[in-house]
Amino acid sequence: MELVTLHELLTDARRNKYAVGGFNVFNVEGVKNILETAEELAAPVILQAATQEIEYSSGECFISMIKSLGSNKKVRIAIHLDHGSDFAYAVKCIRYGFTSVMFDGSHLPFEENINQTKKITEVAKAAGISIEAELGTIGNTDENGERIENPYMTDPEAVKDFVKRTGVDCLAVSFGTVHGLYKHELSLDLERLERISKKVKIPLVMHGGSGVPEKLVKESIKLGICKINISSILQKKFADGLRTFLMNNTELPWGINLFNAASETTRDAIKKHMIMLGSSSRI
**12 annotated active-site:** no
Rounded alpha-carbon distances, angstroms, from residue 271 to 41, 91, 120, 121, 238: 8, 33, 33, 33, 14
Asked if residue 282 belongs to a domain, the reply is no
Amino acid at 2: E
Contacts (Cβ under 8 Å, ≥6 apart) of 181: 141, 210, 211, 232, 233, 236
The secondary structure of residue 120, as a DSSP letter, is H
- List the domain range (segments joined by +) for residue 234: 2-277
Asked if residue 264 belongs to a domain, the reply is yes
- Element at 260 (helix H, strand E): helix 255-277
Is residue 159 within 8 Å of 196, Cβ to Cβ? yes
Is residue 25 within 8 Å of 52, Cβ to Cβ? no
Total domains, the chain = 1
Q: Is 83 left (phi over 0), alpha (psi -120 to 50) or beta?
A: left
User: How far is it, in rounded angstroms, from Cα 122 to Cα 131?
Assistant: 9
Q: Annotated catalytic residue: which of 82, 86, 142, 169?
A: 82
Instruction: Quote the strand ranges of 105-156, DSSP E.
Output: 130-135
Asked if residue 159 belongs to a domain, the reply is yes
Q: What is the pLDDT along the chain (283 residues), one digit of tens a residue?
A: 999 999 999 999 999 999 999 999 999 999 999 999 999 999 999 999 999 999 998 999 999 999 999 999 999 999 999 999 899 999 999 999 999 999 999 999 999 999 999 999 999 999 999 999 999 977 665 443 455 555 679 999 999 999 999 999 999 999 999 888 877 778 899 999 999 999 999 999 999 999 999 999 999 999 999 999 999 999 999 999 999 999 998 887 788 898 999 999 999 999 999 999 999 999 9
Chain centre to alpha carbon of residue 179: 11
Asked if residue 120 belongs to a domain, the reply is yes
Asked if residue 27 belongs to a domain, the reply is yes
Is residue 220 within 8 Å of 10, Cβ to Cβ? no
Find the CATH number of the domain harbouring 198: 3.20.20.70
Asked if residue 283 belongs to a domain, the reply is no
Contacts (Cβ under 8 Å, ≥6 apart) of 43: 20, 21, 37, 274, 279, 280, 281, 282, 283
